Copies of this chain bind each other. A is one copy, B any other.
Amino acid sequence: MSDKRKIAEAAIVRLSVYNRALGEIEKEGLEIISSDELGDRIGYHATQIRKDLSCFGEFGEVGKGYFVRDLRDAISRILGVDRKWNVALAGAGHLGSALLAYPGFRQRGFNIVAVFDNDLAKIGKKWEGIVIQDTSELAKTVKEQDIRIGIIAVSPQVSQEIVDTLTSCGVRAILNFAPASITVGEGVELRNVDLATELECLSYFLTNEAEVRTEVLRKIKNNNGEGG
C-alpha cells in the first residue's frame, strides 16, 4: 500500500539496521530469509519488520520469505542510498579525522569530498586525498561539488554558526556531533549524535539496575526478546 506519508523516524532507523543485517546475511551466502529469522538476528519482532516494509510495498514471497539481494536493493532505494552523496566535513580535529579516515561511509555511498577548518596549521594540508580548506571557501565549494550533507565536528561554540553557513548554501541535511542545542529552519533535517548522552543513559541504567532488572524479567515472562 505504498504510502510514504506517515513513516516514523524510528522506522527509517530500523530500515537502515535491516539493510546492514541483510548485507551480513548476503555475505554468509544465504539467498532467502524470513522476517522471523531476520528479526531474531537483530532483535526485532518479525511483525515490526513486515509492518515497516509494508509502508513502501510488498517485497516478500508468501510461504517463502524475502530474497536477500532484492530486499536489500529495495531498502537501499527507499533510503536513497542507491546513489552517491557528496558530504562536507566541518572540523578536522580528533573526531573529524577519524570520520574522514573511515572507509565505511564511502562504501555506503557517502563521499566526504570537502573538509573545512579554521586552523591555519591544517588549512592546505592534504588528508586522505582531500585538501583542508578554510571555512571562508565553504559556500563556493558546496556549490561546485554539489554537496548535500554536512557533518559538524567543530567545537560546540561555533557549531550553530557553521550550521547556518551550511544551510545558507543550500545544505538540507546535517549530522551534528557538537554537544549544543542547534536549531535549523524548516526543510532542514538535523540529526544530533551526543556521545555524552549515550554514556549518561548507560550511567542511568547502572544506577537503576535493580528496577530495570525487574522490567526485564516482566518482559521475558511475556516472551519478549532483546531490544537492540
Contacts and interface: CB of A to CB of B under 8 A. Distances in A.
Interface in A141-193: 148-149, 172-175, 179-181, 183-184, 186-187, 189-193
Contact of A202 (B149, B187, B204, B220): B149
A222 interface: no
B85 A94 contact: no
B206 A172 contact: yes
A57 interface: no
B94 A194 contact: no
Interface in A193-228: 193-209, 211-217, 220, 226, 228
A28 interface: no
Interface stretch (A16-24, A46-54, A61-69): A16-24
User: How many subunits of this chain does the assembly comprise?
Assistant: 2
A186 B216 contact: yes
B200 A16 contact: yes
A214 B204 CA distance: 37
A208 B217 CA distance: 40
5 contacts: A12-B204, A19-B200, A94-B102, A105-B199, A175-B195
